[in-house]
Structure 1
Amino acid sequence: MRDEAIDDIVQEVLLSVTGALGRFRRGARRGSFRGWLRRITENKIRDHFRRCQHQPNAPGGSANIAQQLNIPAEHISNDPSSISLTHSSSDVMAALDSIRETISEQTWRAFVLVTFRDFSPTEAATELNITSNAVRLANGRVRHRLRDLLPDVPR
């Protein structure tokens, strides 16, 4: 299990415990606090795996970012000794973070849906309750700003 999944499960357990703590009653038929906590934890782990069964595995990493943004893979490098004009995934992520700070949440969500979640502009428009043309413009706006921040990436 990935560390992020474990952190999520721990958080869900803590939320569940804090919400139900007032209803906990210790007794011979009900068991101990540890047993109660264990049942909650086991249920949250089961819930996690049930959710995972219904969700496709999303590709990640700098190679996926490059592919989604139509940046040739040779322009995304994690090798700090690389002499050519390349960008590490941290450069791309830093650029995306700075772009996100300057645009509306709706523009960012349109970009993410189309670029990273493989929504068509029409599907993203339906999800965001805007026109598909607005989705295309938003996506283009973010991509244009990314290329402005990383000028040696081919257009």
Structure 2
Amino acid sequence: MNEIPQTRASLLLRLGNESQNAWPEFLSIYESALYGFCRAKGLQDADARDVLQDVLTAVMKKLPDWDSDSSKGSFRGWLFRVARNIAIDEVKRKAKKVTASGDTQVGRMLAEVPGPNDPQDQSFETEYQRALLDWASSQVKNEVRENTWLSFRMTALEGQKAEQVAEALGVSVGTVYTAKCRVVARIRNVIAVMGEEFEMSLE
């Protein structure tokens, strides 16, 4: 099982110090959120992956400039601004290539990318919350018994009724609810240890 970092701040510190294990850990949390954000902005898979690589390169270069003083904004907000600016550049680059053809899709993409003075785009926050859930779930899954995990997955993630899950697993409905609550609490705790706020409903 992957080691859970003590805090987000410690992860960023290790990134700045070029720790060997820091980047895989960083990618396990942030990569899918960044990719999902690019796709939500209308970029195709190849373009989204190009932007993702540009964002990661920029993070490596600009991380020393990020100030951990919370009064100056969160790391998540800073990361969003980096991703947004690079996504805008990519969409504008594509727009220049298709201007003569009258393609309106790129125009819509440009309109959907938030401007420099806009508040944090909700699409990034949504993808980030999903990435947090995926990451924390991968940590917790190996800590609990199979039926405990299945009770959580089938109810909280797949939306099945507790009665259906209980019948499928051969346990009581109360056992399903208890298992689900246990996993949800553990996931929230893992995320909290990272210094993050998890806002998705798992009820």
TM-score grouping bracket, smaller chain normalisation:
0.3 to 0.5
Greater RCO (Cα-Cα under 8 Å, separation 6 or more): 2
Greater gyration radius? 1
Q: Under a length normalisation based on structure 2, what TM-score does the superposition of the two structures give?
A: 0.34
| Larger helix proportion of the pair | 2
